[in-house]
Structure 1
């Protein structure tokens, strides 16, 4: 971490704790690579709401996160670890986009409502991390094709504006690919909704 960033949190100690949790969840081979520390520091700063550090990283705490990077660089496991750092009001669930597309085949358009406004018995919509955006396909339900994740993101954007609802996303798509898959409207809404944190294209495959 750059020495000029002053914070009362001990980031190396937090990384050690996250690594211990990672070993517990994923096995003894789990390690947070030193090359990834710049990314991990940004995630830690965001989920601990470390305002001075977020300010220096140009991270807006009122927006969600879009964590992008090549396949196998560790995006999903890092977001799963961040659940243990997130403060109560910042808690979120990780949901694979492919699972959502399978739910859509089963339950239809109600699924869009489920992941935006929430289930009927839920008082408030929930914060989700939609994992691996781009791995789901356009799905047909009774012959109607629907870009499920595009619809969910657009619905959540309205809730972001009206209720400050946060959305996190992991993806290996570039901004251009997001636009190609989901349209210009989704790309422009995401600019408003999320901070982009990106691994280098050369990031090592850890699988």
Structure 2
């Protein structure tokens, strides 16, 4: 299956503008979810308000974003309980994004392990621009808060706090975006990363949250 052919079914072009149909977007998400994650993947009715916001963000429907109090210039912080589908949804959502808005998904635990092996050199891909790039590559850091304080030859570092602070500077000056998924609440994020990081996150992210009672879909 060509996943992008499924996306082509979700819109019509009128006067040079893509006009998306949300029901067709849901069908595409279901088809792509089954393709990537198997037949157990299912979109639940109680999650539709969250999914609608995510799709509207991905297709860059700026007018509707503003109506829904989503800032088109900020990235996504997708929160919710364990197993509610945050990672799967961010993976599938990438298909809807135009090339300039696509992102790489990186588990936070992997970043921490990379630091343990290589030290601060491991943070370079996430905090410095590649050759001739105008801004940092866009990442979605998955499961923020599951990584631990890591040591490299005695040097302890809260790696994700360092990355967020570095990427905040690029967000301010070059409009670089950084998406995040997390199981943590706002107060838990502040307790884990400190008020300085939490303050930067308020400026960087649109908070979109699954219901805390959302069922475990694994």
Name the CA distance, whole Å, in 2 between partners of 1:147 and 1:165: 21
Report the counterpart of residue 159 of structure 2 in structure 1: 148
Q: Does 1:50 align with 2:66?
A: no
Partner of 1:3: none
Q: Deviations over 1:129-187 (max 9, x none)?
A: 00000000000011111000000000000000010000100000011110111110000
TM-score (norm 2): 0.89
- Alignment correspondent of 1:101: 112
SS in 1 for 2:96: coil
Q: Does 1:68 align with 2:79?
A: yes
Which 4+ runs in 1 deviate beyond 2 A? 121-124
Structure 2 regions of 5+ residues with no counterpart? 1-17
Is the CA contact 2:165–2:197 (under 8 Å) kept in the aligned structure 1?
yes
Residues 17-49 of structure 1: CA deviation (Å, up to 9, x unaligned): 011000000001111111100000000000000
- Count residues in correspondence: 200
Which of the numbers 176, 179, 200 marks the counterpart of 2:190?
179
CA distance in 2 between counterparts of 1:84 and 1:8 reads: 16
Rounded to whole Å, the distance in 1 between the matches of 2:86 and 2:176 is: 22
Please state how far the C-alpha of 1:196 moved relative to its aligned partner: 0.1
- 1:80 aligns with 91
Which of these residues, 170, 175, 193, is aligned with residue 164 of structure 1?
175
CA RMSD for the aligned pairs? 1.3
Gaps of 5+ in 1: 1-6
Aligned to 2:41: 30
1:129 aligned residue (136, 140, 146) = 140
